[in-house]
A and B are shown apart, each in its own frame.
Chain A
Amino acid sequence: MTADRIRGLMMGFYVLLFFAWLFGPLIIMSASAFNTATPPTVTPWQGFTFDWFGKLFANRDIREGVGTSLLIGLGVVLVAVPIGLAAAVLMTKLRARARSVYYAIVVSPVLMPGVIIGVSTKVFWDRLGTAVGASYKSFFYDGIFLSVVGQSCFISAYCMLIFLARLQRFDRAQEEAALDLGASHVQVFFKVLLPFLRPAVLSAAVLAFLTSFENYNTTVFTILPEKTLTTVLASKVRLGTDPSISALAFLIIAITVVGAVAYEIRARSEARRLGTA
C-alpha cells in the first residue's frame, strides 16, 4: 500500500513538472511583455510598462501581415472545407480496392512536410505560368493565391478526416428513405446529408482557419513578396528579439485562454443539461 502511495506521489509530481514545463515558457514570455528591459526578459525586472503594446500596434508590417493572414485564412476555409466534404463523401461511395489507393493519395499531404508542399506549389504554378505565357501580374505569380492553394493541399485532408469521422455515424437508410419518398439527389444532399454534417462543417472551418493562420512552413515558400503574420514574426524574431513580440504572444495567449474557458463552461453546462434531461 505504501509503495503504491509513493508511486502515486511520484507520478503526481512528474505530471506537475510536465505542466510546469508546458506553461513555464509561455508565462515567462507573457511577463516579459510588461518589463521595460530589452531584449525581453524577466530578470532583472526593470519596471512595469504597457509601452510594448503601443509599439506592437504601431508596427505596420505586423498589421499588414495580420490582414494578409486573415484573407488567406478565409480563402482556405472557402477552398478546403468544400473539397474535404466532397472527398469524404466520394470516399464512402468507392469500392474497397479503389478506396485504399484513393485514401493513400488524399491522406499523403498530412504526412508530407509543409516545406515540400510549399516548394512543389511554388515550382508547379511558376512553370505552369511560364508554359501558358502568363504575365507576372496574373494569379500564377500571386502570393496570396499560391498560399491559399498550397495550404489547402493539406488542410483539405484535415477537413476530409473530420468529415469521414462524422460520416461513419451516418445512417444510409435516411438517404434511401428520402429517395423513396421522391426527393431528388440534390434535395437529399441539402436536406438530409448536409444538415447531418453541419457540426463537422463548423469544426472543419474553424480548424482550417486556425491552421492556415498559423502556418509558416508552406507559406514562407508560396507567399512571394507578400507578408503574413507568421513570416513577419519569423523574420523579426530571427533578426533580433524585441518585447513587442512578447506583447503579441501575450495577446494570443489571453485570447486562447478566454476561448478555452468559454468553451469549457459551455461544454459543462451542456453536459449538465443533458444529464438532467
Chain B
Amino acid sequence: MSEARLKLPNFGGLGASIGTVFTVLTGFWILMMILLPVSYMVDFSFRFDLPPGKIGGPEDVHTLDNYRYLLFGPPGSPERLSIFGWEFQANVLHLVVFFRTILAAIFVTGLNFLICYPVTYFMAQKARGGTARLLAVCLILPFWVNEILRAFAFRILLGGGGVVNEALIGMGLISEPIDFIRADVALYMGLTYAYILLMVFPLYNALESLDRNQIEAARDLGSPSWRIHWRVVMPHAKAGIASGCTMVFMLAVGALAVPQILGGPSNLWFTQVIYDRFNTSLNWPLGAAYAFVLLVTCVVFVLLVMRLFRVDLGEIAK
C-alpha cells in the first residue's frame, strides 16, 4: 500500500469523497439512531426515577429496582403469587400482562399461519399468472389503510351495536349482544388481520419456487395430501415460514394501536403498560426497564426461531 493510499482511504473503490460521505451517513445511523439510543435506554433502566435537577448528581446511581418492581411490585406489597405451593410476593398484574401478551402473540402467529398457508399455497401453485397478480394486488390493498383504521373497522364490526351482533340477533341466534371486545375476540381478530401481509409475502416467495413436479411425484407415489404438505411443501418453504412467523410475532407482541383500540378494558397488552409509564403514570426508568424486557423477549424469540428452523438472520429479515 503506498503512502498516498494511506492518507486518503479509497473505501474499496468508492473514492475518498463519496466514501467519506457514505461512512459519515452510515456511522450517524448506526451510532446515533441504533446503538447509542438502545444502550442509553438500557442504562437508564438501571437508574432511579429522579427529578431533572438530580440527574447526574450523587444520587444518580445504578439500581436493580425497576426490574425488581416488575417481578415483586413495590416493597411490602401484599400481592402474592403461588406456584406449586410456593408462595411469594409478586407484581401479579404486570407479570400476568407480560406472559399473557407473549402467549396471545404466539396464538395470533399460529392462527395467522393457519389462515394464510392454504391461500398462499393456492396463489403460488394453482393460480395462473393473471389471477395470481390480481390476488396479490387484492392482498396488498388493505395494507395501505392505516393500522388504526383497520382496528376501527373491527370495532364497527364487533362492537355492542355492531354489524355482527345485529346480524346474529336478526337471525335469532342470540337475544343479547355479545361483548366481543371484553372477551378479547375483537383483539385477536384485529391482530391476526393486521399482519396477514407479513405472513403471506415470505410464504409466497418460498412456495412459488417449489417445482410442481415434486408434488406430482409425491402424489404418484401414493402420498396423501397432508403428508405431501408436511414432507415436501413445508420443508421447502421452511425459511419463508420462519420469516413470516417471526415478523408476525414481533409485530403482534409489539403492537400498541390495536390493543389500545380493540383490547378489553381490564386486559392490557404489555406495550400499553410501557406506554403508561411514559405518558400517564410518568416513570421513565421503569418504562425503559419494561421496554428492555420486551426487547430481550424478542431477541430470544428470533434466536429460537433461527435455531429451530436452522435459518440465518438474512433469511428472516428480507
List, in ascending order, chain B residues with CB within 8 A of A44's CB. 166
Chain B count of residues within 8 A CB distance of the other chain: 94
* Interface hit among B81-89, B210-218, B234-242, B291-299: B291-299
Contacting B at CB under 8 A, from A92-133, are: 93-94, 103-117, 119-125, 127, 130-131
Per-position 1/0 for A153-188, Cβ under 8 A of B: 100100001000000000000010001000011101
Does any Cβ of B come within 8 Å of A197's Cβ?
no
Does any Cβ of A come within 8 Å of B96's Cβ?
no
List, in ascending order, chain B residues with CB within 8 A of A238's CB. 260-261
List, in ascending order, chain B residues with CB within 8 A of A14's CB. 118-119, 122
Q: Is B34 in contact with A124, judged by CB distance below 8 angstroms? A: no
Q: Is A86 in contact with B139, judged by CB distance below 8 angstroms? A: no
Per-position 1/0 for B26-69, Cβ under 8 A of A: 10111011111110110010000000100110000000000000
List, in ascending order, chain B residues with CB within 8 A of A40's CB. 156
Q: Is A130 in contact with B52, judged by CB distance below 8 angstroms? A: yes
List, in ascending order, chain A residues with CB within 8 A of B204's CB. none
Q: Is B257 in contact with A217, judged by CB distance below 8 angstroms? A: yes
Tell me, in angstroms, the Cα distance from A15 to B26 when the chains sit together: 44
Tell me, in angstroms, the Cα distance from A203 to B139 when the chains sit together: 19
Tell me, in angstroms, the Cα distance from A39 to B271 when the chains sit together: 28
Q: Is B302 in contact with A25, judged by CB distance below 8 angstroms? A: no
Q: Is B148 in contact with A230, judged by CB distance below 8 angstroms? A: yes
- A23-B142, A41-B162 known; A249 vs B152 contact (CB < 8 Å): yes
Q: Is B23 in contact with A90, judged by CB distance below 8 angstroms? A: yes
Does any Cβ of A come within 8 Å of B22's Cβ?
yes
Does any Cβ of B come within 8 Å of A48's Cβ?
no
Tell me, in angstroms, the Cα distance from A230 to B11 when the chains sit together: 41
List, in ascending order, chain B residues with CB within 8 A of A32's CB. 156
Tell me, in angstroms, the Cα distance from A117 to B29 when the chains sit together: 13
Closest to A151 in B: B33
Separation in Å of the B284 CB from the closest CB of chain A?
7
- A15-B119, A113-B298 known; A260 vs B26 contact (CB < 8 Å): no
Tell me, in angstroms, the Cα distance from A260 to B25 when the chains sit together: 34
A214's contact among B21, B146, B225, B254, by CB below 8 Å, is which? B146
Q: Is B156 in contact with A29, judged by CB distance below 8 angstroms? A: yes
Does any Cβ of A come within 8 Å of B300's Cβ?
no
Q: Is B29 in contact with A249, judged by CB distance below 8 angstroms? A: no
Tell me, in angstroms, the Cα distance from A107 to B103 when the chains sit together: 26
Tell me, in angstroms, the Cα distance from A188 to B53 when the chains sit together: 53
Contacting A at CB under 8 A, from B139-190, are: 139-142, 144-157, 159, 161-163, 166-167, 170
Contacting A at CB under 8 A, from B185-228, are: 193, 196, 225
Q: Is B161 in contact with A41, judged by CB distance below 8 angstroms? A: yes
Q: Is B260 in contact with A153, judged by CB distance below 8 angstroms? A: no
Does any Cβ of A come within 8 Å of B313's Cβ?
yes
Separation in Å of the B1 CB from the closest CB of chain A?
16
List, in ascending order, chain B residues with CB within 8 A of A15's CB. 118-119, 122, 135
Tell me, in angstroms, the Cα distance from A23 to B142 when the chains sit together: 7
Q: Is B40 in contact with A120, judged by CB distance below 8 angstroms? A: yes
Tell me, in angstroms, the Cα distance from A18 to B41 when the chains sit together: 42
List, in ascending order, chain A residues with CB within 8 A of B157's CB. 24-25, 28
Q: Is B163 in contact with A185, judged by CB distance below 8 angstroms? A: no
Q: Is A161 in contact with B148, judged by CB distance below 8 angstroms? A: no
Q: Is A43 in contact with B302, judged by CB distance below 8 angstroms? A: no
Q: Is A107 in contact with B44, judged by CB distance below 8 angstroms? A: no
Binding site for B on A (CB under 8 A): 7-8, 11, 14-15, 18-19, 21-26, 28-29, 32, 39-44, 82-83, 86-87, 89-90, 93-94, 103-117, 119-125, 127, 130-131, 149, 152-153, 156, 161, 175, 179, 184-186, 188-189, 210, 214, 216-217, 220-221, 230, 233-234, 237-238, 241, 245-246, 248-249, 252-253, 256-257, 259-260, 264
A-B contact pairs, 16 of them (CB 8 A): A11-B122, A14-B119, A19-B135, A22-B193, A25-B153, A26-B145, A43-B166, A90-B22, A107-B314, A111-B298, A120-B38, A233-B148, A233-B152, A249-B152, A249-B153, A264-B133
What would 16 more interface pairs be, CB under 8 Å, given A8-B126, A26-B145?
A: A28-B157, A39-B156, A83-B28, A87-B25, A106-B29, A106-B30, A109-B34, A111-B317, A115-B271, A116-B295, A120-B37, A122-B278, A216-B148, A245-B152, A246-B156, A252-B144
